[in-house]
Amino acid sequence: MNISIEKTDEEFLVVISGRVDTTNYNEFENSIVHLYNEKDATIYLDCSGLDYISSSGLRIFLTLQKKVKIQGGVLKIFAMQPQIKEIFDISGFSSIFAIFPDYSAAKEA
Amino acid sequence: MGMMLLLLGWNNSLAQNGKLIFTPHWIPQAQFAGYYVAVDQGFYKDNGLDVDIVHSTANIASLDLLKNGDADIVSSFMLDAIEQRANGVPLVNIGQLSQHSSLMIVTKRKSGIDTYQKLHTKKLGIWSNGFEDVPLAFMQEHGIKMDLIRILQTVNLFLMDGVDALLVMYYNEYDQINNCGIDEDELNTFFFSDFNLDIPEDGIYCMEESLKSKGSAYAGFLKATLKGWEYASEHREYALDLVIGEMNKAHLPNNRVHQRWMLEKVLAMMEPGKKKVMKGQLLKLDFERAMEVFKMAKGTQGYQTFGYEQFYHPSAKGLK
Amino acid sequence: MNRNRLSFKIIVRVLLFCFILGGSIFTIYYLFARKTIERESRENAIHLAESTVYKIEEIINPAEMIPGNLAWIIENNTLSRDSIYAFLRQLVRNNKSVFAAAIAFEPYLFSQERYAFAPYAYRSGDEILNRDLWSPAYNYFIMDWYQIPALLRKPYWSEPYFDEGGGGVLMTTYSVPFYTNTNNSRVFTGIITIDISLEWLTEIVNSVKIFETGYAFLISGNGVYVTHPNASHIMNQTIFTYAREVNEPVIREIGRDMIGGESKLSNVNLKEMGNVWIYHTKIPSSKWSLGVVYPHREMYAGLRSLNIMIFLLSVMALTLLTIVTIRIINRQIRPLSRFAKAARNIAGGNFDIELPVVEENHEMKELHDSFRYMQEELANYIADLKETTSAKEKIESELRIARGIQIDMIPHIFPPFPNLPEIGLYASLESATEVGGDLYDFFPIGDDHFCFAIGDVSGKGVPASLFMAVTITLIRSMSDKNRSCSEIVQSVNKTLTINNESNMFVTLFVGILNLQTGELQYCNAGHNPPVLLNCDREPLMFRNTKAIPVGIFGEIDYCNETMILDPSDQIFLYTDGITEAEDADKNLFGEAALMKALTENRDKSPKELTDRVKQSVKEFVNGHMQSDDITMMCITYRGKNGNKIK
């Protein structure tokens, strides 16, 4: 699993690739934990390289969403792979998160 | 010289005792091996004979001893015997051992005399007593004149290039020359047997007189002698032992190597080879040729003539 | 000695090196020594021969003068017969080395009446006598001593001979031609001779000593042995007959060189004597030749015994070296075996063992210190390990207990309700670890309703199991006659959301079946949609409801769905542990495979169906480690009063 976080003036671009499961969800969380305290942040989450996510990983996504909301920011997820989208759909998470097909769509919204 | 006197006295007394005195015609050497063997093996005894071998010396011919009655039987060079007979000495040949000539002329290769023609006008060393008949006949028949230098008995004059050529016996002096360091390939050889002068040499002689009384004994002598030579041929080292023993007794320098060569060549000469003759017999043709040679060398003046039957008496019975 | 021992290995190598080094040094020295000895022997041989020749010449040279002087006298004087005899006698008397002397005249040249005249004076005991050599029996003209110098007109040393008159003494005669002046011309008149005994010559040559078997010998101009250590050779053999006798052609060659007058050193290998030097040189006056035989065997004898001594010494030295080296090495490396022993002890668990004390050797000290360090670290590590292990064991045992508790939370007696003929049911739950996050539950509500639920807590292990315990408890407590599925789900959601900082969530499916009518009310909060099975139809998956799992947002409204079950309809419920079961290549079992397995077994009883599906999954994962909890529940509706018995 690889995480990269770019900060520009106004937004964060988080690129995640690989798998997030019970073995490395901690690592994932540790990488983005500092975002929990960013005020009014706009965070773009690029999931084009995300191959698999388990419920532990979903939990982190949830936590991030809640924390960002509390801090007044917004989380936008884009470029999910089909099987990941399906998980989100089945579990109903699609309605919790702002999910976009690609970056430009996410930017516009 | 003193020895000769001793010999003579001894001979006379013995001749009266029924012994047979046999005198080889030279000092002891392998040339007479057969006789030594015949005595040592008792062949003479087997034939009822009591034989003493008494040698002559370099200066006295065996034929002289025969003439004087000091010896009953002698061995001799045939041409010498012919000369004696031509001088009226009534001796007869009762056995011919040597069937071939071993006379030859040698020259040094470095002299360049490699053909008999080149011998012409050269100095030929020959012995003081006898053996000149064949070379003289040779010179006549081939129109060669050689300057004859008499030498007592050594080859040294030839070795020192004092003469151009040397008359030698193949079985004796030829080997002596080799034994003085001259290799065979440093010599040119002219065998008289190659020049139609293959005249037999050693034979056994006795006086005609005694033949009448002791004829049968002489027959036995020849038989035993031939047997002795046969035995020597088959037991050469043993024969050499006897020869060496005789030579040592006579205080003569000797070595086995030279005596072995001599024995070999003497035995070879006794083989008839191409001649139609049996061992121990004298071929008439050879005798006639020898007579020819003698006449050529010595002429006919003052010499008696005689024929084969007078000279040669195989009447020694038992010679079949 | 054990081949593998270090000391042995070192010894062997050191020894080998010493050997090679020693061998090389020795060889060099030996060759050098040999060369030196060779050179010296060669020079010695030459020197010996030359000095012997010198001694011989010392005696011969004066003797040679005598006939020459005599010739001169005669040439210039006329001597009468008597005076000649007197003269000769005097000559013999005055010269010790001369045994006899003679003057032999050419025919008629002494006097015209005499054919031959050869006055001769000779020693006889203490007296000196004289006589005339000539007699008919003694024709001196054809004898070598006269004939050869006469013909060659040169002085001549005769071949040696035994003089019978003089008692068998070995003699030689030196002849010189002399001339007289007649009519103003120099005329060859005869030969002057002196006879010389060769005894002194023999003595000189025989006195030459060369080790034990070396010797000197003299040969005449014809190669006749004049002197030789083997007396039987003298006068009997020439060097050429000897060469033939012993079949050594090389000796003939040497003989030819000798009579040719050369001086030469040859190295010859003789059968009997082995390798020898033969040096020969000629005696200038007589042209006879002296040979000196130097046997190599003896030449090197001294060297050989020296070699043996060195060899023995070397062997002793090497042996000593070996012993001492072994001792030293062993002492130095004795600590090694002690260390080995200590290591064994430590491995056995005895961490306090005393290490061998090593002070004198730096490398050993290093080894010792490292060992000590290792020993301490090992002890610490083991202690830590023990602690960790016991802690781990503690945790594991607690987990086992927790597992037991968790299992007890879930109904696991089948068939669960024998007195409810309308229902056939089987469920199985296999957690990935000791405790897991999957849950199922079922219980009757009143007489006519049957409630069942299946859920999956996010994650696995202890955290999920805690949440699972809470959830399952909440479900039970929230369900009574009057609550619908959605109400149950909602209240569970509300409660779970409180104090849920970690944002754990549970996907949940709750269903309530009216046993009389077959009406099924259900609410799906983000869980995998169950499958409806019937023998006569294809399996049908429930619609995706898109409700979010419980525990995330407390204010969410959940909805009910309803459907009618026909008797003998089966509902197959499962968690994503099945569809996401992985094999070794990370391939997922997937919905398709699940549907296939369900299709094949839809006519089976719940237990059999469940087992078959489990089997399919097991075959698929093929031994790969279970990554998620696998939970299945299969419920058959048998209809009112359970008419259709399965």
Give the pLDDT confidence score for residue C167 in this predicted structure. Answer: 64
Kindly state the average pLDDT of the residues C204-222.
88
Helix (H) or strand (E) segment spanning residue C428:
strand C423-430
For residue C646, pLDDT beyond 70? no
CB proximity A69 to C under 8 Å: no
Smallest Cα distance from B89 to chain C, Å: 23
The interface residues of chain A toward chain C in range 11-40, judged by CB-CB distance below 8 A, are 21-22, 25
Kindly state the average pLDDT of the residues C306-326.
85
Question: Which positions in chain C touch A96 (Cβ < 8 Å)?
Answer: 548, 552-553
Q: Which residues is A68 bridged to in the sheet?
A: none
- Nearest CB among A59, A63, A95 relative to C459 is that of A59
The interface residues of chain C toward chain B in range 127-146, judged by CB-CB distance below 8 A, are 137, 139, 142-144
For residue C136, CA distances in Å to B177, C132, C189, C209 come to 29, 12, 20, 47
d(CA C219, CA C256): 11
Dig out the tokens for B96 from the structure.
């011919």
DSSP string over B117-130: GGGTT-EEEEESSS
CB A43 within 8 A of CB A74: yes
State pLDDT tens for residues C475-489.
988 877 678 888 999
CB contact under 8 A, C148 and B156: yes
Give the pLDDT confidence score for residue C359 in this predicted structure. Answer: 66
CB proximity C248 to B under 8 Å: no
Weakest-pLDDT range from A76-85, C50-59, C176-185: C176-185
For residue B54, pLDDT beyond 80? yes
Q: What is the DSSP letter of B274?
A: T
d(CA C468, CA C420): 27
State pLDDT tens for residues B154-186.
999 999 999 999 999 999 999 999 999 999 999
For testing the chain B interface, which of C238, C259, C282, C289 should be mutated: the one with the most B CBs within 10 Å? C238
CB C530 within 8 A of CB C573: yes
Please state the pTM of the whole predicted model.
0.60
d(CA B133, CA B174): 19
Residue C124 buriedness (CB in 10 A; 0-12 / 13-18 / 19+): exposed
Number of residues that this document lists for chain C: 646
Dig out the tokens for B138 from the structure.
């040779």
For residue A92, pLDDT beyond 60? yes
For the ranges A61-70, B191-200, B309-318, C364-373, the maximum mean pLDDT occurs at: B191-200
State pLDDT tens for residues C106-122.
998 888 888 999 999 99
Amino acid letter, residue B301:
Q
Three-class SS of C567-623: CCEEEEEECHHHHCCECCCCCECHHHHHHHHHHHCCCCCHHHHHHHHHHHHHHHHCC
**Domains of chain C listed by start with CATH number:** 23-58+201-299 (3.30.450.20), 78-197 (3.30.450.20), 411-642 (3.60.40.10)
CB proximity A81 to C under 8 Å: no
Amino acid letter, residue A99:
I
CB contact under 8 A, B253 and C168: no
DSSP β-ladder status, A42-53 and A11-20: parallel
CB contact under 8 A, A62 and C552: yes
Show which subunits contact B, needing at least 3 CB pairs below 8 angstroms. C
For residue C364, pLDDT beyond 80? no
DSSP string over C458-482: SS-HHHHHHHHHHHHHHHHHH--TT
By C-alpha distance, the chain A residue nearest C463 is: A56
Residue entry with tokens 């075996």: C337
For residue C421, pLDDT beyond 90? no
Kindly state the average pLDDT of the residues C72-77.
80
Dig out the tokens for C31 from the structure.
């060759």
Question: Which among C123, C92, C117, C93 is positioned nearest to C105, based on CA atoms?
Answer: C117
pLDDT band at B58 (very low <50, low <70, confident <90, very high): low
For residue B11, pLDDT beyond 80? no
pLDDT band at B122 (very low <50, low <70, confident <90, very high): very high
Dig out the tokens for B40 from the structure.
């040592």
DSSP β-ladder status, C531-534 and C569-574: antiparallel
Question: Which positions in chain C touch B253 (Cβ < 8 Å)?
Answer: 235-236
State pLDDT tens for residues C517-571.
889 999 998 888 899 988 888 888 887 766 888 988 888 888 888 989 888 888 9
For testing the chain C interface, which of A91, A94, A97, A99 should be mutated: the one with the most C CBs within 10 Å? A91
pLDDT band at C299 (very low <50, low <70, confident <90, very high): confident
Assess whether chains C and B touch, using the rule of 3 or more C-beta pairs within 8 angstroms.
yes
Give the pLDDT confidence score for residue C166 in this predicted structure. Answer: 54
CB contact under 8 A, A91 and C526: yes
Show which subunits contact C, needing at least 3 CB pairs below 8 angstroms. A, B
For residue B13, pLDDT beyond 50? no
Smallest Cα distance from A56 to chain C, Å: 5
pLDDT band at C42 (very low <50, low <70, confident <90, very high): confident
CB contact under 8 A, C144 and B154: yes
% chain C with pLDDT above 70: 96
For testing the chain C interface, which of B64, B151, B255 should be mutated: the one with the most C CBs within 10 Å? B255
Give the pLDDT confidence score for residue C13 in this predicted structure. Answer: 87
**Domains of chain B listed by start with CATH number:** 2-100+201-311 (3.40.190.10), 103-195 (3.40.190.10)
CB contact under 8 A, A55 and C457: yes
State pLDDT tens for residues C244-289.
998 889 999 999 999 988 888 888 888 778 888 889 999 988 889 9
By C-alpha distance, the chain B residue nearest C163 is: B251
Q: What are phi and psi of B13, to 5 degrees?
A: -70, -35
For residue C168, pLDDT beyond 80? no
For residue B14, pLDDT beyond 60? no
Q: What is the DSSP letter of C158?
A: P
**Chain C residues with at least one Cβ partner in A under 8 Å:** 437, 456-461, 502-505, 507, 525-529, 544-549, 552-553, 627-628
The b-or-e profile of A55-91 (16+ CB within 10 A means b, else e) is bbbbbbbbbbbbbbeeeebbbbbbbbeeebbebbebb
Give the pLDDT confidence score for residue C643 in this predicted structure. Answer: 57
**Domains of chain A listed by start with CATH number:** 2-103 (3.30.750.24)
Residue entry with tokens 């080998």: C16
For residue B21, pLDDT beyond 80? yes
pLDDT band at C193 (very low <50, low <70, confident <90, very high): very high
pLDDT band at B199 (very low <50, low <70, confident <90, very high): very high
For testing the chain C interface, which of A25, A62, A66, A85 should be mutated: the one with the most C CBs within 10 Å? A62
Give the pLDDT confidence score for residue B292 in this predicted structure. Answer: 92
d(CA C158, CA C191): 13
pLDDT band at C8 (very low <50, low <70, confident <90, very high): confident
Task: Give me the total of CB pairs closer than 8 Å, taking one residue from chain A and one from chain C.
Answer: 60
Dig out the tokens for C633 from the structure.
């529940």
- Nearest CB among C222, C236, C259 relative to B255 is that of C236
d(CA A75, CA A69): 8
Residues 6+ apart with CB under 8 A from C381: none
